[in-house]
Structure 1
Amino acid sequence: MSLSRTQSLLSLSLLAFLAACSTVTPDVEQAGAPEQPAQDIALQPLSVPPLAALPETPPRALEGKFVPVGWGALPGWQADDLSLVWKAFINNCKGLMRPVSGSLALPARAAPRAWQPVCAAAQQAGFSDDAGSAQVRSFLEAHLQPWRLADAAGKPAKNTVTGYYEPLIRASRKRTGPYQWPLHAPPADLLTVDLGSVYPELAGKRVRGKLQGNRVVPYDTRAQISSSDKQPPVIVWADDPVEAFFLQIQGSGRAQLDDGSMIRLAYADHNGRPYASIGKWLAEKGEMTLAQTSMQNIKAWAQRNPGRVQEMLNANPAMVFFREEQIVDPELGPKGAYSIPLIGERSVAIDTRFVPLGTPVYLATQYPASSQPLRRLVFAQDTGAAIKGAARTDFYWGFGDEAGAKAGRMKQQGEMWVLWPKQAGAPAAR
């Protein structure tokens, strides 16, 4: 339902709604709703419009500070193998070359006008997707300037680096045999309100709800949805409730169907309820210690207690809704908040108050649960409700069980350098 049809209702009920409803996505939602989900721009050739065709929009202030440095200040820069980076760089340019709307309800994006000369040069370079590391490094050093990210106080920003991935589940389009656990498309009565349209001081905040008579109320919890006679549309039925739940935690994933085909379940929306940990629920119930609440142990508990599985799942009131996508290029992951498909080990989620979407970033951290350096060029293409603060990063490991194992162990310290067009001055957002 459009905002115009509900504006008169919102003026009466929105403040009460805010008191009861989350204004941010669940902590688990990483691959957020792309700003233009219908566009598969990564599958199209790069198109760089003339500079005059990119309108200037008001700048958006960034909370961090940036200090220019030389390439030699980036630890391990010469050792990063860039031989498979050009595809990601070109895809990122495809996102950069979209004019920004100026809407404060969307995450901050890198300024397209600043990047137009660099993306034009990349287009003219004509490199193949597998351009050599030395070739790519030479291009980047010729056109970009590294800036050390500092916090609001001006100190070099260091923060936590976690990981996420794209899981795989087994599923069927029909509810049959072991396939009993639904993954839903958004319900028809789900209402999303951009609060900045009503209250400018709340720009960028959204709430989800539904109309109940002449009132806007919080949308149903997971328990209410699961027990309702009126279910949201089901895309597929999974064969394992815990696997399906963890797919929701990641925000998207792939489904291997019982007919042998594979589809992607991409994040579409959620019910606006705050995320609660089922691991914490199990610990509070005395079923296992908090340290034991791995995915494997939770699955084993579910197998021993089939009659309590829904009770466990209902401990988390949040529910993610999906849309079906075809998998055209297996190398490409789900679309992040920038509408660009993520690429394993080259895409990250960041806090756009400090680093705008579409920005190449050099990240220095360590491999999961080790002291081995992990230093590489990545692209800021996603956001997450738990990803807050200068240099706070969520590293996308890619698809499958191995990526999931790395993501699950990833909790390191890291720092970053923003790579910005030389001619454009300090990094800026729109």
Structure 2
Amino acid sequence: MIRALAVALAGLLMTGSANSAEPTYQIFDFKDLIGWEADDHDAALRVFLNTCPDLEDPDWASLCAVAQNISSAKAFFELFFRPVLIQDGTKPLFTGYFEPELDGDTAPSDRFRFPVYRIPSEARENSVWLSRREIETSDTLRGRGLEIAWVDDPVELFFLQIQGSGRIKLPSGRHIRVGYAGANGHPYRSIGVELIRRGIYKPHQVSAQVIKSWVRRNPVDGAELLRHNPSYVFFRTVNQVPADEGPLGAMNRSVTEGRSIAVDPAFTPLGAPVWVEKAGKLPMNRLMIAQDTGSAIKGAQRADIFLGTGDTAGRVAGKLRDSGKMLVLLPIQRAFALLPEGGE
């Protein structure tokens, strides 16, 4: 699963508030959805079909079978689903996440000096192993054949570890996709929060790009700042996903830029279509598919939008923090079963 969120990348404490009320359910008509008529329903259906064969509940499995042979995606959603607004008393919040892409090579050089490691046996065998500082300032891992690749930027490597997955672009143009394989067992400490504590920035100023810029402008102090986070992540190669497809989400299928979201599965079933009405500078009214989860995604009106791969997607994700609302498209009988007795 892609683990990073805009929150983690910015180093902020936006971890999702606890549910403050029992969930309520309200069924909407499709005509009530802002922008529904103008959306690309075919694009949403293609993403739905990517994961719906894995849904085992009979109603979802039946709809997935129907979806394989339909002439109108819009009619399919309107005929077999109902939009349900689920609320639990927490404020709606949309953030964005992305897949980082680093420049690297399969052999070290003057440019590519920073290794991306597989997990060593010691880290597997011990719940808590060496800290980031101890790993980076010792020869413990060197010369053991644990390197997947070497990259050219230690700051981007640090953020790759926060993200938990990404791609490495080789000089040949080929890509290596890496995924989370384990960690050293130390707790994660936010370097964004540490910059705020030191008085270098105020909370509203901190973002992934701001942190990266500060570390690069202050290489000595920057290296020490990164070691403030003792957690260290190891990787594995992810060969089952072609480089031109998105990374794996929680359903072990590729997520799709602008159409896949991470949700709280306590409220939104994985694989379900979700209508998103996001406010902010870049409003978005779009049918997406719940295909991922995240530790900071808690609540009925909380979602993280997958925005793609690379620096451009990262910059957008780092700034996205908007309100709005989301409605889960549920099979008709399932939707009405959520209403209180006598409800409409």
Band of TM-score, shorter chain: 0.7 to 0.9
Alignment of 1:26-65 (within 5 A): 28=8, 64-65=23-24
**Percent of paired sites with the same residue:** 39
Query: 1:364 & 1:303 partners in 2: Cα distance?
Result: 37
Matching residue of 2:61: 116
Count of residues in Structure 1 that have an aligned counterpart in Structure 2: 320
Query: 1:427 & 1:189 partners in 2: Cα distance?
Result: 51
Matching residue of 2:178: 265
Query: 1:296 & 1:379 partners in 2: Cα distance?
Result: 28
Alignment of 1:156-305 (within 5 A): 158-191=91-124, 210-211=125-126, 217-231=127-141, 233-285=146-198, 293-305=206-218
Does 2:262 correspond to 1:325? Answer: no
- Are residues 88 and 239 of structure 1, via their aligned partners in 2, closer, same or farther at CA, if it must alter by over 3 Å? same
- Are residues 411 and 327 of structure 1, via their aligned partners in 2, closer, same or farther at CA, if it must alter by over 3 Å? same
Letter paired with 1:357: L
Letter paired with 2:322: Q
Query: 1:375 & 1:181 partners in 2: Cα distance?
Result: 41
Q: Deviations over 1:24-74 (max 9, x none)?
A: 999739xxxxxxxxxxxxxxxxxxxxxxxxxxxxxxxxx634332222232
Q: Shift in Å at residue 90 of structure 1? A: 0.7
Alignment of 1:383-394 (within 5 A): 383-394=293-304
Does the CA-based 8 Å contact 2:186-2:232 persist in structure 1?
yes
Classify the secondary structure of the residue corresponding to 2:66. Answer: helix
Superposition RMSD in Å: 2.9
1:78 pairs with one of 33, 37, 49: 37
- Are residues 178 and 418 of structure 1, via their aligned partners in 2, closer, same or farther at CA, if it must alter by over 3 Å? same
Q: Shift in Å at residue 283 of structure 1? A: 4.4
- Are residues 397 and 78 of structure 1, via their aligned partners in 2, closer, same or farther at CA, if it must alter by over 3 Å? same
Taking structure 1 as the reference length, the TM-score comes to: 0.67
- Are residues 274 and 351 of structure 1, via their aligned partners in 2, closer, same or farther at CA, if it must alter by over 3 Å? farther
Does 2:49 correspond to 1:90? Answer: yes
Query: 2:206 & 2:216 partners in 1: Cα distance?
Result: 14
- Are residues 84 and 425 of structure 1, via their aligned partners in 2, closer, same or farther at CA, if it must alter by over 3 Å? closer
Query: 1:255 & 1:381 partners in 2: Cα distance?
Result: 23
Does the CA-based 8 Å contact 1:278-1:315 persist in structure 2?
yes
Letter paired with 1:251: G
Taking structure 2 as the reference length, the TM-score comes to: 0.82
Structure 1 unaligned spans of 5+ = 1-23, 30-62, 98-111, 128-134, 192-209, 212-216
Classify the secondary structure of the residue corresponding to 1:186. Answer: coil
Does the CA-based 8 Å contact 1:161-1:410 persist in structure 2?
yes
